[in-house]
């Protein structure tokens, strides 16, 4: 059994459902049917009882007075947030009758589901929902907002989301955190790196911002945004030139190393320095440190791939460990994401064959244009597990789309988010602790189970439950739309195509809670690339019209404005989750804009003053934090803040909705802005 009982209280095991690589094991302390405390489970092999501050305060969110309890219908203007209570029967009937009419008049493609991973539970995020929308024939969403560009880039090099086993990284002697703020976003990688450091490892951080992770590192290398591929190529230049490569590994396990050797001759350290702003001596020092240290490990973050050239940047960095043969050493190599090791049976889970006709795909990063410009138009939007009015690029355009009177919008969430305020109908969602679901990390190798730990809050329902009701309302008779949560879990786990999951059954998860997939070292072995090897030269890229060798391409001109704007995540929120919860907002303080002293001085801006940040797309107001923590010419904000009365903190008002070089990815960090001082209150 996975519950420990005494007379008054109960502790049950749980999983953190947030979109975070660590996917911690939790202990949920219950009293009188409520969760009163959330702690880390010391028995979880990877997370070992440590959890972040955000989730330690999870009860503040679970029982926040603002949490939605019942379905709502809009009574005021779109965006006003005035609603009245209705019953679930009325809500489902309204949706079904609206959709039946739309399907009859304009076709099912006029309906667009919009979701992401606000809850990582697989059957809630990509199970019954996918089945339902396939059967409905709705337009199809491309899930590109997070890691799409980098995932595709990494795949060209390595064949999929396969990297170093995180537990092995304690053996590394050099750890490079490249474009990742792991102290905030992957805290157990920091725990492991700290152990490695005790054994003599050196920690290097490469970032545009001296963030929490950079402050903790042994060596922080500031770099200009969007230039990391040039730095990686400069390192390769030196590795080849100074004979620090592992020729046996290159011959045995890579393709294209001769071509790469020639190609990187043009990336000499002087040129690379002029592009990246990293001094020539530092480029040499880093190359020699990397070339002479074994095992060395690179944690590739999401920051570098949220740029126009992000896919190629990740593909390029992913080539580095091959040059020195790091994959042969325990703890050596790289992690971008490890999700592919734990692939569930997606076709059994999602049932694409329920779709009777092909439908158009819509890139989620282009939601604004999709709502405003598509022809034939989208007439209905169904949002769950996501808050697009805050998280999408060019969010002003998204909000303009959401204002359309003729757009029938349904939002299923735990809170009246900014997106929900534009909805015609709002449906209350259960929290993950009220649900039955399975989880797989995209960093460690454990599969985890969440069984309902508490009753649904108010009248809230889980995602699969709502889709089962909608299917019934639509009159869909398919068995697949009636499967229980447990059926879905069993079907997802049964994946003969992925031997790593062999032996991981529902029963075992019930008993053991955390089950490690049977992941083995990548080498010696064959990769799922076309050649079976690490592709330093990629034919597949060539066929797609991409440069087949790792290449640096400068960012395109966004706008002729002085600053590169990098609106990254913050410590106390998880994307926009927690931005509605007073406790977490207090912990985070104010939305800041980090600026270099010289830049601030040239604009007459002093530390702590309010500034307006703007470009042609929009504007927002932040508090200047002036110092030496960002490279000159770059300004950094942190966090996706909830709307505030009277001023805009919507950083995505400014971000471009161009697509990255690969995967249709988002380019949140490639926009340019101007900054100006607002009249100070004092
Ligand atoms: N506390 C917290 N944890 C989170 C999240 C959160 O919002 N808050 N979000 C979760 C999600 S969905 C994700 S995808 C991950 C993201 O977490 P990370 O992988 O850490 O990625 P980001 O935080 O987007 O960016 C990391 C760093 O990239 C830097 N950066 C930006 N541009 C460049 C560049 O051109 N070069 C270099 N070298 N650095 C650059 C930024 O300054 C930032 O410090 O975190 C997850 N965990
Ligand atoms: N400027 C800027 N913008 C960014 C980023 C950035 O770094 N900078 N990061 C981007 C990245 S990497 C990502 S992943 C996206 C994330 O964007 P989103 O996936 O939209 O993430 P959240 O803002 O956390 O919103 C998730 C919503 O789902 C709801 N939710 C949670 N559980 C459930 C459930 O079980 N059912 C239902 N129906 N709802 C639920 C939560 O209450 C919350 O409102 O943001 C992107 N936006
Ligand atoms: S948000 Fe991340 S670090 Fe925090 S408890 Fe969840 S999985 Fe662990
Ligand atoms: Mo993400």
Question: Which is the closest atom of ligand 1 to the Cα of 178?
Answer: 38
Going from the C-alpha of 44 to that of each of 236, 247, 436, 507, 583, the distances in angstroms are 39, 40, 19, 18, 27
Ligand nearest the Cα of residue 52 is 3
Q: Tell me what pLDDT residue 679 has.
A: 75
Q: Tell me what pLDDT residue 647 has.
A: 82
Ligand 4 midpoint to CA 475 (Å): 36
Question: Which is the closest atom of ligand 2 to the Cα of 390?
Answer: 23
Ligand 1 midpoint to CA 184 (Å): 9
Residue with CA at minimum distance from ligand 2 atom 41: 118
Ligand 1 midpoint to CA 181 (Å): 5
Question: Which is the closest atom of ligand 2 to the Cα of 115?
Answer: 19
Question: Which is the closest atom of ligand 1 to the Cα of 575?
Answer: 7
- pTM, rounded to two decimals: 0.97
Q: Is residue 8 very low, low, confident or very high in pLDDT (cuts 50, 70, 90)?
A: low
Ligand 3 midpoint to CA 442 (Å): 13
Token pair, residue 344, equals: 């569930």
Residue carrying structure tokens 């730990």: 453
Q: How does pLDDT run across 169-184, given as a tens digit for each residue?
A: 999 999 999 999 999 9
Nearest 5°: the CA angle 353, 354, 357 is 85
Q: Tell me what pLDDT residue 7 has.
A: 54
Please state, in angstroms and rounded to a whole number, the distance separating the CA atoms of residues 485 and 434: 12
What is the chain's mean pLDDT, rounded? 97
Residue with CA at minimum distance from ligand 3 atom 4: 52
Q: Is the CB of 255 under 6 A from ligand 3?
A: no
Q: How does pLDDT run across 142-196, given as a tens digit for each residue?
A: 999 999 999 999 999 999 999 999 999 999 999 999 999 999 999 999 999 999 9
383 contact partners, CB below 8 Å, separation of at least 6: 113, 114, 115, 409, 410, 411, 412, 413, 419, 420, 423
Residue with CA at minimum distance from ligand 2 atom 16: 575
Question: Which is the closest atom of ligand 2 to the Cα of 431?
Answer: 35
Q: Tell me what pLDDT residue 646 has.
A: 81
Q: Tell me what pLDDT residue 34 has.
A: 96
Residue 199: is its pLDDT beyond 50? yes
Residue 682: is its pLDDT beyond 50? no
Contact predicate 68/413, CB 8 Å: yes
Exposed e or buried b per residue across 547-575, where buried means at least 16 C-beta atoms within 10 angstroms of its C-beta: ebbbbbbebeebeebebbbbbbbbbbbbb
Question: Helix axis angle, 463-474 relative to 128-136, nearest 10°?
Answer: 30
Q: Is residue 38 very low, low, confident or very high in pLDDT (cuts 50, 70, 90)?
A: very high
Contact predicate 499/518, CB 8 Å: yes
Ligand 1 binding pocket, CB closer than 6 Å:
19-20, 146, 178-181, 184-185, 206-209, 211, 223, 225-226, 228, 301-304, 307, 566, 568-571, 573-575, 636, 669
If one residue of 185, 188, 585, 660 were mutated to test the ligand 1 pocket, choosing by the most ligand atoms within 8 A of its CB, it would be 185
Q: Is the CB of 119 under 6 A from ligand 2?
A: yes
Residue 542: is its pLDDT beyond 70? yes
| Protein residues with C-beta less than 5 angstroms from the ion ligand 4 | 146
Q: How far apart are the first and last CA of the chain?
A: 61
Q: How does pLDDT run across 437-469, given as a tens digit for each residue?
A: 999 999 999 999 999 999 999 999 999 999 999
Residue with CA at minimum distance from ligand 3 atom 5: 51
Q: Is residue 1 very low, low, confident or very high in pLDDT (cuts 50, 70, 90)?
A: very low
Ligand 3 midpoint to CA 24 (Å): 5
Residue 5: is its pLDDT beyond 60? no
Residue 244: is its pLDDT beyond 80? yes
Strand intervals (E) in 187-274 = 202-207, 219-222, 254-255
Ligand 2 midpoint to CA 521 (Å): 33
Question: Which is the closest atom of ligand 3 to the Cα of 16?
Answer: 6
Ligand nearest the Cα of residue 66 is 2
Rg, C-alpha atoms of the chain: 25
Contact predicate 652/566, CB 8 Å: no
Residue with CA at minimum distance from ligand 1 atom 16: 302
If one residue of 60, 301, 414 were mutated to test the ligand 2 pocket, choosing by the most ligand atoms within 8 A of its CB, it would be 414
Q: Is residue 3 very low, low, confident or very high in pLDDT (cuts 50, 70, 90)?
A: low
Q: Please provide the DSSP assignment of 369-414 as one string.
A: HHHHH-SSPP-EEEEES--HHHHSSSHHHHHHHHT-TT-EEEEEES
Ligand 3 midpoint to CA 145 (Å): 20
* Mean pLDDT on 357-377: 98
- The dihedrals phi and psi of 219, each to the nearest 5 degrees, come to -145, 120
Q: Is the CB of 151 under 6 A from ligand 2?
A: no
* Mean pLDDT on 294-300: 98
If one residue of 55, 278, 301 were mutated to test the ligand 1 pocket, choosing by the most ligand atoms within 8 A of its CB, it would be 301
How would you list the strands of the sheet with 437-440, edge to edge? Answer: 437-440, 446-450, 514-516
What length is written for the chain? 682
């Amino acid at each position: 059994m996975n519950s420990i009982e005494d007379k008054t209280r109960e502790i049950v095991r749980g999983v953190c459902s947030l979109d975070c690589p660590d996917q911690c094991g939790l202990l949920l302390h219950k009293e009188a049917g409520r969760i009163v405390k959330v702690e880390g489970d010391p028995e979880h092999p990877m997370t070992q009882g440590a959890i972040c501050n955000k989730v330690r305060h999870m009860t503040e969110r679970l029982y926040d007075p603002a949490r939605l309890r019942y379905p709502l219908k809009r009574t005021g203007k779109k965006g006003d947030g005035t609603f009245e209570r209705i019953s679930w029967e009325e809500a489902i009937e309204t949706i079904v009758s609206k959709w039946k009419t739309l399907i009859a008049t304009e076709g099912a493609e006029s309906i667009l589901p919009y979701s992401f991973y606000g809850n990582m539970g697989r059957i809630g995020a990509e199970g019954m929902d996918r089945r339902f929308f396939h059967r409905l024939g709705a337009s199809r969403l491309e899930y590109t907002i997070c890691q799409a560009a980098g995932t595709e880039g990494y795949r060209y090099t390595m064949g999929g989301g396969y990297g170093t086993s995180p537990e092995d990284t304690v053996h590394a002697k050099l750890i490079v955190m490249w474009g990742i703020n792991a102290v905030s976003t992957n805290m157990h990688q920091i725990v492991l790196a700290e152990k490695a450091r005790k054994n003599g490892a050196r920690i290097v951080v490469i970032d545009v911002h001296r963030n929490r992770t950079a402050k903790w590192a042994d060596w922080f290398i500031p770099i200009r945004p969007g230039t990391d591929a040039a730095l990686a190529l400069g390192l390769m230049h030196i590795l080849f030139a100074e004979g620090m490569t592992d020729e046996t590994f290159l011959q045995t396990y890579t393709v294209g190393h001769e071509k790469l050797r020639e190609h990187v001759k043009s990336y000499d350290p002087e040129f690379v320095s002029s592009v990246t702003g990293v001094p020539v001596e530092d480029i040499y020092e880093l190359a020699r440190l990397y070339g002479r240290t074994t095992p060395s490990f690179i944690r590739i973050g999401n920051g570098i791939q949220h740029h126009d050239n992000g896919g190629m940047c990740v593909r390029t960095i992913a080539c580095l460990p091959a040059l020195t043969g790091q994959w042969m050493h325990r703890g050596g190599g790289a992690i971008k994401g490890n999700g592919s090791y734990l692939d569930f049976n997606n076709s059994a889970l999602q049932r694409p064959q329920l779709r009777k006709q092909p439908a158009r795909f819509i890139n989620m990063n282009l939601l604004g244009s999709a709502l405003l410009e598509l022809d034939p138009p989208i007439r209905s939007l169904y949002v769950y597990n996501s808050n697009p009015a805050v998280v999408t690029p060019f969010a002003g355009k998204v909000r303009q789309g959401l204002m359309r009177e003729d757009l029938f919008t349904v939002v299923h969430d735990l809170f009246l988010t900014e997106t929900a305020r534009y909805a015609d109908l709002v449906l209350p969602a259960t929290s993950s602790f009220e649900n039955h679901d399975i989880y797989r990390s995209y960093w460690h190798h454990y599969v985890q189970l969440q069984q309902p730990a508490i009753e649904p809050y108010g009248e809230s329902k889980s995602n699969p439950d709502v889709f089962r009701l909608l299917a019934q309302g639509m009159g869909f008779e398919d068995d697949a739309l009636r499967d229980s949560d447990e059926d879905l879990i069993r079907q997802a786990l049964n994946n003969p195509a992925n031997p790593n999951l062999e032996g991981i059954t529902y029963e075992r998860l019930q008993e053991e809670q955390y089950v490690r997939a049977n992941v083995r070292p990548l080498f010696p072995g064959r990769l799922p690339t076309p050649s079976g090897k690490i592709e330093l030269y990629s034919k597949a890229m060539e066929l797609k019209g991409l440069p087949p060798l790792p290449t640096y391409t400068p960012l395109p001109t966004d706008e002729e404005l002085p600053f590169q704007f990098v609106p990254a995540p913050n410590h106390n929120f998880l994307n926009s989750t927690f931005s509605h919860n007073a406790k977490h907002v207090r912990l985070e303080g104010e939305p800041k804009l980090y600026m270099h002293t010289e830049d601030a001085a040239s604009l007459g801006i002093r530390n702590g003053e309010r500034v307006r940040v703007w470009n042609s797309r929009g504007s927002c107001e932040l508090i200047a934090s002036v110092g030496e923590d960002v490279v000159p010419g770059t300004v950094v904000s942190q966090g996706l803040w909830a709307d505030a009365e009277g001023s805009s903190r919507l950083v995505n008002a400014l971000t471009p909705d161009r697509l990255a070089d690969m995967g249709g990815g988002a380019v949140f960090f490639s926009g340019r802005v101007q900054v100006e001082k607002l009249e100070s209150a004092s």
